[in-house]
Chain A
Amino acid sequence: MHRLAALLFCVSISPASLALWNNPYPDSQTSENILYSSFSERPKHLDPARSYSAGEYAFIAQIYEPPLQYHYLKRPYTLVPLTAINMPRVTYIGAEGGRLGEDAPVSDIAFSEYEIQIQAGIRYQPHPALAKDKRGEYLYHSLSDDQVDQVYELSDFMETGTRELTAADYAHQIKRMANPQSHSPIAGVMSQYIVGFAELSEEIETTLSTLEDGEFLDLRQFRLEGVTIVDRHTYRIRIRGKYPQFLYWQAMPFFAPLPWEAERFYAQPGLKEKNITLDWYPIGTGPFMLAENNPNLRMVMARNPNFHGEHYPATGDEVDQSRGLLADNGKPMPFVDRAIYSLEKESIPRWNKFLQGFYDNSGITSDSFDQAIQFNPQGEAALTAEMSGRGIRLSTAVATSIYYMGFNYLHPVLGGSGERARKLRQAISIAVDFEEFISIFRNGRGVAAQGPIPAGIFGHHPGEAGINPYVYDWVDGRAQRKPLAIAKKLLREAGYPDGIDNTTGKPLVLHFEAIGSGPDEKARLNWMRKQFKKLGIQLIVRATDYNRFRDKMLKGKSEIFLWGWNADYPDPENFLFLLYGPNSKAKNNGENASNYANPEFDRLFERMKNMENNTERRKLIDQMVAIARRDAPWMWGFHPKDFSLHHAWVRNTKPNLMANNTLKYLRIDPKLRADERQQWNQPTLWPLGLMGGLLGVSIIPAIISFRRREKSTAL
């Protein structure tokens, strides 16, 4: 009988009969149409007025729908309507109030008015804030203490409701940005453009001071001069002057609609204490809604049953057809029913779970780079045989970002527009070999920058026309960094032959402001010192924490620093404004961290920034880039290259670094995933038997020894 039981046990735990022991998800989900991914840092805010980071947009961009979005496949990045029926109609208005033509000079334009008409019939996701009783009264707008006591999650509200999206909801959200309580990061920018925005902020602040703590502020009672509701589905935004980039903001969650009912609902006493706030429980019209909000563990997006529907794009780039990216042309989206994002702080478990098939996509960290990627003789990145064998696919894209090394233009030695300082900066720009930096520290994931504008942005020139002639030569069909001798010559002309200051006879000593001093950082800093050493310049690293670093930058006390910028929108203005004099960080708390100032550059920028993309604008940009390259306020650093991996069962993956609402385009083959997981994750049981055996064997001598001792005499 015992033998039979043992046999049954052995059969029952044989690998073929086992479910996956290491599956972190319930077995019931195995064949479901769910996308699995991870996030490494819990989002701080999910309020569209406040959220401003990629990690937060990964969630809210699937929920909130601004009027515009980026075309998923087309490059360069192109805006298309989302909830809007058409692209906004722009009207230019002169100082006298008269309408101007589209080609009116920028100086004549006092206001631009954007008229946006949204689709009728769009409805919000089911939400208790919109739930009504039979009499049409809101069910949960006047919660009693007892009701609040019984609620722990938003899902504890049994009833939900919906209503149609209206133009007033978009207007309401713009007012929310003006509300100082919302702490919207772009309130400062918008107050410069949207008519009446700053005034509304002041008015709200005054009103807030008269309210009791926690009292609901109904923004419907306030008027925002620059926003007009034309009819139920149409609204106008009036901004000062001409600002074509305003359209790009309309594709960001800041300008997504928000129903007043949501604010009224969340403002009730007691809900905040249970973290039931608008900041944590979004309400939108998008393809997904937040079904589970546990930022400490997982975030679950579920298909919004009220979604208005959208179809997969029918057109794309030339290569999209051959890559199968147009196979779902015209099919209704979204394709997945749910998306489960698990919090995964450490890269090792995250990577291993991807390899086990429990995450559908993954980035590549330095630790796993060699396992995943190899470079062919032409220097192109490709997957290793191990990854290819698993059917994993690699997507790469040059980010619309730049990491640059800046010189503080206010510094007496490095800064200023004088010939001496300029040649010194140019010499250093040649000496610091960013191709080597990319190769050593970024595993080749980057493109050395030739100027401030990355590829894919209007104004960028590929090939020979786009090289920085002060740092590179065009040799054998590629940009080649100038020889060090040129840098030494420039240094000599600057008055520092071999790094010795002519005036003092002492070595030139420069300071690099570094953030952090860990082992990885130490290698980078040593490399940096070596680059300056090539010219005989002593580089002293001043390592500090980010707070102190930021403080130095704000006070203009830095010398050389490394910083970066990730584009808000794909327009050259969003990069060139980093060099615009009045945006000086030290003087005006702007984004010009190097405090670069060149009157000619500034003059051209002011002309260029409000122009449409045309030949004239391109010429101006070329002039500005040429000036910046000559003045070299930055070593231009590099544009990072994003590498991402996807399993074979994930379809329609194309990196789109401007769009955030990309979840709806992804399609999953759950059957293939289940099969692959089963194949890759069969439990290996022999180690358990081996351990038990070893334990048993090791006990035998102890038992023998014990018996011998028990039987032995005392003397």
Chain B
Amino acid sequence: MIAYIVRRILYAVPILIGVNLLTFILFFVINTPDDIARSQLGDRRVTTAAIDTWKRSHGYHKPMIYNENAQGLGKFTDTVFFNKSVRLFGFDFGRSDSGRDIGYDIGQRMWPSLAIAVPTLIVGILVNITFGLFIAFFRGTYIDFWGVVTCVILLSVSSLFYIIGGQYLLSKLFHLVPISGYDTGINAFKFLILPVVVGVVSGIGSGTRWYRTLFLEEIGKDYVRTARAKGLSEQVVLFRHVLRNALIPLLTGIVVVLPLLFMGSLIVESFFGVPGLGSYTIDGIQRQDFAIVRSMVFLGSVLYIVGLLLTDISYTVVDPRVRLQ
């Protein structure tokens, strides 16, 4: 298994280089170094000399990807792309174009993202499994029918509607929770209730349908029939046999998103005023801060690769028949 993991990590290197190159090209198709400098210096009264000075001090004065005037390897290394990218592989994100240390900011901002994402994931899974099992138990009845209809309605609604609706009902109308904001430590609790509730409710439709499908697939299998034939009660069949076997796709679906929880949610963080990584990324894009954009894309790619690797490993844990070679 270790050889497999090492191999997967080595595969990740060219993927990350490719992602980095693609980000670089896409970003600089839209923004020139002059644009970045103007974005930092402002439009008012800024002179060409000031732009040149800024570019020089931030390393944007060099050729982008290929330096014709350099010698040997310098043709590739004495470029904006190389200088801005190579340190990423050591997880040294450097400084943003506005001068802040990106690694420090990521370290600060990932906690609020996690504070929302982790309870949303856990509560969401519990609620969705409960509803999924409930509907699967009553398969073919009116409960199943109306449950599925409700799920389809819930998943058809935009997440923005849940956010605004939740803020309107729970905070504006009923005054039960703060409408937005965040705090540290135990004080964060009251700010997390609304985004977590909104996150869970907005995921019920799709989650419950997915789990229902998984459970129904298992329910139709021979071992379930055998269990019933043994005279086991329906709840024992569902909880002891169906749920455990349905865990394989369920677990892999969860494990793959675990690392991405760090990245936060753009809309939720923006509407609830949560200083997480989701809003950090969009801030970087809006400010044309290439240093932040490339760092967050790189981090996202790494976490996604880690998620896929963990998924593979989790297969071996939940299904002894699977072996990684």
Interface of A with B (CB < 8 Å)?
20-24, 26, 42, 44-45, 52-53, 180-181, 183, 185-189, 205, 272-275, 277, 279-280, 294, 296-297, 342-346, 348-349, 352-353, 355-356, 545, 547, 550, 568, 589, 591, 681-685, 687-688, 701-702, 705-706, 709-710
Asked if A22 and B138 sit within 8 Å, CB to CB, the answer is: no
A297-B182, A545-B30 known; A589 and B177 CB under 8 Å?
Answer: no
Contact A22 B175 (CB under 8 A): yes
| Bound complex: CA A318 to CA B13 (Å) | 72
Measured CA separation A688–B174 after assembly (Å): 10
Task: Please list 29 pairs of residues, one from A and one from B, whose beta carbons are closer than 8 Å in the complex, sorted by A's number.
Answer: A21-B175, A22-B178, A22-B179, A45-B99, A52-B44, A183-B54, A185-B50, A188-B47, A272-B95, A272-B101, A273-B101, A274-B101, A274-B104, A277-B99, A296-B105, A296-B108, A296-B280, A344-B273, A345-B270, A345-B279, A348-B164, A352-B171, A355-B172, A356-B172, A545-B30, A547-B30, A547-B32, A547-B288, A684-B173
Residues of B within 8 A of A42 (CB): 283
Q: Pick the contact of A702: B103, B138, B288 (CB < 8 A).
A: B138
Among listed B35-43, B292-300, B314-322, interface-contacting one: B35-43
A180 in contact with B53 (CB, 8 Å): yes
Across-interface contacts of B48 in A (CB, < 8 A): 589
CA distance A187 to B47 in the complex (A): 9
Cβ contact within 8 Å between A185 and B190: no
A45 to chain B: closest residue by CB: B98
* B176 in the interface (beta carbon within 8 A): yes
A474 to B47, CA, bound (A): 43
Which of B46, B141, B191 meets A185, CB within 8 Å? B46
Chain A: minimal CB distance from B18 (Å):
26
B residues 266-284 in Cβ contact with A at 8 Å: 270-273, 275, 279-280, 283
Least CB distance from A148 to B in Å reads 13
Closest to A688 in B: B176
From the candidates A685, A687, A709, name the one contacting B234 in the complex (CB within 8 A): A709
B residues bordering A, Cβ < 8 Å?
A: 30-32, 35, 38, 40-50, 53-54, 57, 95, 98-101, 103-105, 108-109, 134, 137-138, 141, 143, 164, 167, 169, 171-182, 187, 190-191, 233-234, 270-273, 275, 279-280, 283, 287-288
Complex-state Cα separation, A294 to B184, whole angstroms: 12
CA separation between A684 and B138, bound complex, in Å?
35
Taking a contact as CB atoms under 8 Å apart, the answer to whether B279 and A589 are in contact is no
Beyond the given pairs A346-B273, A705-B138, 18 more chain A to chain B contacts, judged by CB atoms under 8 angstroms and listed by A's residue number, are A22-B179, A23-B178, A24-B178, A44-B40, A183-B53, A185-B50, A187-B47, A188-B49, A274-B101, A296-B279, A344-B180, A352-B167, A353-B179, A545-B30, A550-B38, A568-B44, A687-B169, A709-B234
Question: Complex Cα distance A649/B180, Å?
Answer: 23
Cα separation A185 to B42 with both chains bound (whole Å): 7
Closest Cβ of chain B: how far from A702's Cβ, in Å?
6
Q: A180-B53, A349-B273, A702-B143 are in contact. Are A22 and B47 (CB under 8 A)?
A: no
Closest chain-A Cβ to B308's Cβ sits at a distance in Å of: 30
Whether A22 and B98, one on each chain, are in contact in the complex, defined by CB atoms closer than 8 angstroms, is no
Chain A residue at minimal CB-CB distance from B280: A296
Closest A-chain residue to B177, C-beta based? A22
Tell me, in angstroms, the Cα distance from A185 to B38 when the chains sit together: 10
